[in-house]
Amino acid sequence: MFNFIVEKQKDKEAYWYIVEEMVQNGQLPTNNWKGEFFHKNKSIKALVEMKEHYPFLKEADSIALQKSVENLSDAYSRYYEKQNEAPRFKSKKNKLQSYTTKYVNNNIDIKDNYIKLPKEGWVKFSKSREVEGRILSVTIMRNPSGKYYISICTEVDIEPLPKTNQSIGIDMGLKYFAVLSNGDDPIRNSKCFYALEEKLAKAQRILSGRTIGGSNWNKQRIKVARIHEKIANARKDYLDKISTNLVKSHDFIAIEDLKVADMVKNHHLAKAISEVSWADFRNMLEYKAEWYGKKVVAVNPQYTSQTCKKCGHVGKENRKTQADFECFACGHKDNADRNASKNILKLALSQVG
């Protein structure tokens, strides 16, 4: 369904490119072709007619088909606003597959460890937590390791956490995951990837020796996918615990506005930077702070490691070593990363007034 509609839209837009090429070749003075934008409602209405030509579509959940059109509409909206590239065809060979259906007229229900899904009926599942609030939608996903997950989106009222009147600055790093301005011990890196790197490399070497598409290749592919899944789950669990603890303990959190996409271009540090997942950590802090009535502010980290927290003197000579800071002007001494975290907090507080 998704690919069929994308193909139709590309056919409509092809005329614009044909006329544009004629302009470039000097065959036409200007390109006055008015291409037709993607219309969500027209595409949804066309589903009824498409089911008559393609009977297999009747086997699918109609609301899920409508949801795929809505997702495509969102993608085209971002494309027209130049926020991303044009939607591309989806491959059925992609090992990550999912579909989303919405709650309409009690078509979704949960009783004990069973969930009722449109067209599927009651399906048993392992409930990781109690479902609270009004159900909005459900997403069923199959990950590369072959496991199926169900994500239930609900609407609930989240109570703000009690105020602590505490503020903290966080300096991110590679040796230590984070150094805090309050003087607590640095937070160590989880090193989830390094713990399984050798096992993963061995599994990948075996996979490379298999015939692509064969049964043994597929079995080994699943083993590799499960190692990747274990690394990702361990990393996410570690970041969740740290971010939740920081949000619960502080009302104001100052972090660095790191350009991770540019930093990973350094091939000597790319693996280490990807391992610490600074971007995921920042995302967790921001949405949890929004949930619980706290505040997260990101500041430009430039010169925070070279600026003296006590007198404000800025200079490379202040950073004696990677770990030690000694101000050339006033003689103030501190751990270099902790001094930076204090500067980050000071900058963030100055931004919010």
Tell me the domain boundaries of the chain.
Answer: 1-89, 91-157, 167-352
Q: Which of 220-224, 231-235, 262-266 has the lowest mean pLDDT?
A: 262-266
Q: Taking residues 273-297, what's their average pLDDT?
A: 94
First to last CA, the chain: 52
Q: What does the buried/exposed string (b/e) look like for 307-325 if buried means 16 or more CB atoms within 10 Å of the residue's CB?
A: bbbeeeeeeeebbeeeeeb
pLDDT at residue 247 tops 90:
yes
Tell me if 141 sits within 8 A of 96, measured CB to CB: yes
Tell me if 38 sits within 8 A of 73, measured CB to CB: yes
Q: Which of 86-100, 151-165, 335-349 has the lowest mean pLDDT?
A: 86-100
pLDDT of residue 295: 95
pLDDT of residue 96: 87
Helix ranges, 250-323 (H): 260-263, 270-276, 278-292
pLDDT at residue 353 tops 80:
no
In this prediction, what percent of the chain has a pLDDT beyond 90? 49
Torsion angle in degrees (nearest 10) through CA of 156, 162, 165, 171: -50
Tell me if 168 sits within 8 A of 246, measured CB to CB: yes
Mean pLDDT rounded to a whole number for the chain: 89
Q: What tokens appear for 28 in the block?
A: 């036409």
| Active-site residue list | 171, 256, 337
Q: Please report, as a single letter, which amino acid is at residue 27.
A: Q
pLDDT of residue 285: 96
When comparing pLDDT for 210 and 8, which is higher?
210
pLDDT at residue 232 tops 90:
yes
Tell me if 289 sits within 8 A of 247, measured CB to CB: yes
Reported as a pLDDT band with limits 50, 70 and 90, residue 201 is very high
pLDDT of residue 109: 93
When comparing pLDDT for 40 and 295, which is higher?
295
Q: pLDDT tens digits for 84-141? A: 888 888 888 888 889 999 999 899 999 999 999 999 999 999 988 899 999 999 999 9
Q: Taking residues 266-278, what's their average pLDDT?
A: 89
Tell me if 260 sits within 8 A of 278, measured CB to CB: yes
Q: pLDDT tens digits for 69-85? A: 888 888 888 887 888 88
pLDDT of residue 34: 61
Number of Cβ atoms within 10 Å of the Cβ of 179: 25
pLDDT at residue 276 tops 70:
yes
